[in-house]
Structure 1
Amino acid sequence: MKIFKSHFWYNKNQRNGIFLLGIIIIILQILIYADVFSEDKPIDNNQSELFAFQKQIDSLKLVEIENRKPKIYPFNPNYISDFKGEQLGMSLEEIDRLLAFRKMNKFVNSKKEFQNVTKVSDSLLNKISPYFKFPDWVVKQNQAKNSSSQYSDKTFYKKKEIKISTTDINKATAEDFKAINGIGPAFSERIIKYRSKLQGFTFINQLYEVWGLEKEVADKVLAVFKIQQKPIIKKININTVEFKELLKNPYIDYELCKKIFNYRDEVAELQNISELKNIKDFPLDKYDRIVLYLLAE
């Protein structure tokens, strides 16, 4: 008992101090309780300023959302890749149709032709066609077509008839090609230049490979000009040809040239030119054209 008594026994001054401390604690508790449960004082807010501030925040949110959207910049639809086509909303089938068309070394020169090739819907075409960017000469050609369609056949200026010197497409001159409606100086020279690059047309449909030449115009050319005598093409030996020389083949690009040389290194020597078909990812659709310029000796 003495032990407990020593801990709980206080003198008068100590008891007074404890009593005073208790009173102070009670007063503080009352003040805290009264402050917590007191009603909030009304805040004088300027509603017009708050509304304007909220409107500014909303506009900034809209700007940020717009900035996060993927941007579409002007582009040439002839060079749409798988990734780009998917971004634009094209299906895989539509992209494949365009890529197959381009593999034939053909180009679309208007949004209508793009739709004819890819079979995209009108809604998607209207959405992406404003971003189509064609070369200047294509734009001018389309403008000329549109302006000419506004006139009737009676008022349209008829092209002066030109007598052709031959119907052999490999011997025809630039002037001969100008006799075809739709072929002017630029396209006639382009046909001649491409014919020289090929060393002459061996297949009649090689004319469709001329850059920018529309199928309808090419059909008009082929209705008059034919291959009456196939050209004699100078062939090069695939086993001894140098890289730069092989690259001059109009149907061989840099990547295919590398694959051919890698294959030649593997087999040491090609016994037959048909071995090119063994190369991985070799463009079989171009085989007949590629081997026009090659032989294996």
Structure 2
Amino acid sequence: MWKQFIKHYLDFSQRERQGIYLLLGIIVCCCVLPHLLPAPAAPDIVAETVFTNTAAAISSPATNQGSPPPLPTLFYFDPNTLPLEGWLSLGVREKTAHTILHYREKGGHFRHREDLAKIYGLSPAQCEALLPYVRISDTVSFASRAERRDARAFAPQPFPHDSAFVYKRKAFALTDINAADSLAWMQLPGIGPSFAGRIVRFRERLGGFYTVNQVAETYGLPDSTFNKIQPFLQLHETSLKKIDLNQADEKTLAAHPYIRFSLAKLIIRYRNSHGPFAQTADLRQLVVINDSVYQKIANYLTITPKP
């Protein structure tokens, strides 16, 4: 009976045996092939890291992308020495900061903090915000520098020389800075038609000079050129054209080189709020007008008494 049982269940036909052989062959191949084929490459860690960082950036809150830029930090500064990084920290555009540095490299100086308004690219509002923080250090006067220059130029020579070859300095006539026209200015050393025209136009816009050093404030005039002509400059009369504080409008005040638009706007606003000025000294009530600013502009201001 057992033989019949074994024969019934373990006796296969030829087709069944072929199927069993094929199945065994497939099983053997599946077990052996993984050991014969090369190992798979390690995952790309860099690509995975980039993917992870990108996914994190995408999933980050959108409010971070729209955050406003940091506000400028205001601090006391000297415009004659402040580096590029300092101007940028004050909120000045990089292009405007380079313009200021280029102006200084060409020999330009800020003698008064209101000179900051002359810089192209600074808006009136930005200039008004920076003015209270300007601190210009005291510098050597032009007169003392000119005296040292002349002392070196005409110092006795330590070696004998033939007087026939001694250079004779050209004699220049003294020039009245409030009366000289362009031709008279052109007779001075280093002054051509361009500088002569600028000096005359600057004098007319001011309403006249009240000191010789004001000539040095002419736009583009190098300090070296002013030092050359200063010994030949004199001031005979100081008849200045003055502006009535209670009658002038904003445009008239802004046209003056020492006042400009930002200060003119503040003066008009103060006059509208407090009424007519009783005296020019009332301008000291404005925060931006300190002693040095007042001394400069007071010479060109007046108040017409009421009839």
Specify which structure has the bigger relative contact order, considering alpha-carbon pairs within 8 angstroms and separated by 6 or more residues.
2
TM-score normalised by L of structure 1:
0.50
TM-score normalised by L of structure 2:
0.48
Select the structure that is richer in helix: 1
